[in-house]
Amino acid sequence: MRLLLRPLAAPVLASRTMVDDFALLEAWRGGDLQAGSQLFDRHFESIHRFLRNKVGDDTDEVMQRTLLACVETRDRFRGASSFRTYLFGVARLELLAHYRRRRKMDSHVDLESRSFFDLDPSPSTVVAKHMEQKILHEALRRLPIDLQIALELHYWESMSATEVATVLEIPSGTVKSRLRRAKEMLRDTMSGLQLSKPALESTLGDLEGWAKALGETLREGAAVSRKPSIDPIDPIDPIESIDSIDGIGDETTT
């Protein structure tokens, strides 16, 4: 599926030299396709990586819905955090909406007990470069949903506790304990995967290093997935999660 970059209002003139994310988003909303393409290009690899190991072949669809939701809800965002944090928060909501649309998850699912593996146990299509990366990827998929997301934002996006809290819509004072619990669960999960002793020891021996390496592998895969141009396509179904986006981007405190 090609991604949609279509203006939501009549085209207007906008500066081609603007570099601020919110200025680009505002220009895209006003009809500047170049600004929309630039904004999309800036965050493509990070969002693709975030979604790829969770929705597989549906990554493009969920990315499209994420970008459209950002435009549709631009006026609801109060700007207390960065656009990147806001974008990941919207991507998370669209990710959850994706599974609800496929009737694999209801609105009351416990995000701290159910995993993406629980929702879709089919083999992942992510190609890892090393056995340690494959082991880590399979273990991450078996973590509770929001704990997996927290670890990935920490390792791959170098987000602060406040930024992770904003994406997950939780108090910032709880992030460190959640990350600690996620790392403990990750180690326990890997230990239960029936791995050879050398493979397990190698992965556990440099968990942070292998986590970052897996992130780079997924980023490289996103770079390969880039299209040379982004053309309009027919509209997708109405966005289902827009009403849940109020408040994303407002920094959460204890």
- Whether 246 maps to a domain, the answer reads no
pLDDT of residue 183: 94
Question: Does the pLDDT value for residue 52 go beyond 80?
Answer: yes
Q: What is the mean pLDDT of the chain?
A: 80
Question: Does the pLDDT value for residue 145 go beyond 50?
Answer: yes
11 vs 128: CA distance, rounded Å:
43
Question: Does the pLDDT value for residue 164 go beyond 50?
Answer: yes
Q: Which of 47-51, 68-72, 124-128 has the highest mean pLDDT?
A: 47-51
- Whether 5 maps to a domain, the answer reads no
Question: Does the pLDDT value for residue 249 go beyond 70?
Answer: no
144 bridge partner residues: 115
168 vs 157: CA distance, rounded Å:
14
pLDDT of residue 165: 96
- Whether 86 maps to a domain, the answer reads yes
pLDDT of residue 7: 38
Both tokens of 95, joined, read 């990710």
- Whether 253 maps to a domain, the answer reads no
Containing structural domain, residue 162: 21-233
Span 177-192, average pLDDT: 94
pLDDT of residue 158: 94
Burial of 226 (0-12, 13-18, 19+ CB in 10 A): exposed
Question: Does the pLDDT value for residue 46 go beyond 90?
Answer: yes
Span 96-101, average pLDDT: 90
pLDDT in tens, 214-227: 989 888 878 776 65
CATH number, domain of 41, equals 1.20.140.160
51 vs 54: CA distance, rounded Å:
5
Both tokens of 184, joined, read 């403990």
pLDDT, greater one: 86 or 227: 86
84 vs 21: CA distance, rounded Å:
8
Question: Does the pLDDT value for residue 12 go beyond 60?
Answer: no
- Whether 3 maps to a domain, the answer reads no
Number of structural domains the chain divides into: 1
- Contact of 119 with 105, CB cutoff 8 Å: yes
> 83-101 and 59-72 helices cross at what angle (nearest 10)?
120
Span 152-156, average pLDDT: 95
Handedness of CA 54, 57, 58, 60 (dihedral sign): positive
- Whether 4 maps to a domain, the answer reads no
